[in-house]
Amino acid sequence: MSTEEGPVEHEDRWILNLRGMRVTKISVDFRLVLILDSGWEVTLEAPVSLSHGTAHTSPSELLKPESQDVAAALALFGANVVSAVAFKSGTLRLVFDTGHLLTCSSDPSFEGWQVTGTAGWRFVALPGGDLAIWSGSACPP
């Protein structure tokens, strides 16, 4: 598990500091939800790109949470997060110790994904490609 307090802001991204956290539960309805062992949760509503290895050896697969077409995501159960980045452009990128890479872009019409965690942290990909962030010290509007 990560030893830092919380996410770290950079010019064009936030490092979510989920390194070492394990996917302990996966749920599906109109969303794909990855629950991590530390109280953090990744909720994906927009189409998600999931790949394994490099693009040359294994092309990415498009997962569609709204139609429950997410079976490939079961490979993430038990995986540990190696890197989690929320880009200020609205894209989320997660890398796992299994070699999987999950990428979810913002959606033009609705909130494409959100990551919620401890101390009131919440990251939301807003419609059209922006990122909203709340921490325990700030309340959502």
Local confidence band at 140 (pLDDT 50, 70, 90 cut-offs):
very low
Q: What confidence tens digit (pLDDT) does each residue in 2-29 have?
A: 445 689 999 999 999 999 999 999 999 9
Say what the pLDDT of residue 54 is.
64
d(CA 109, CA 6): 29
Integer angstrom CA distances of residue 13 from 59, 98, 124: 25, 24, 13
Local confidence band at 137 (pLDDT 50, 70, 90 cut-offs):
low
**120: burial class by Cβ within 10 Å (0-12, 13-18, 19+)?**
middle
Domains of the chain, residue spans? 8-134
Q: State the average pLDDT over residues 93-107.
A: 96
Residue 139 has pLDDT above 90, yes or no: no
Q: Which three-class secondary structure state does DSSP give residue 108?
A: coil
Residue 69 has pLDDT above 70, yes or no: yes
Q: Which three-class secondary structure state does DSSP give residue 80?
A: strand
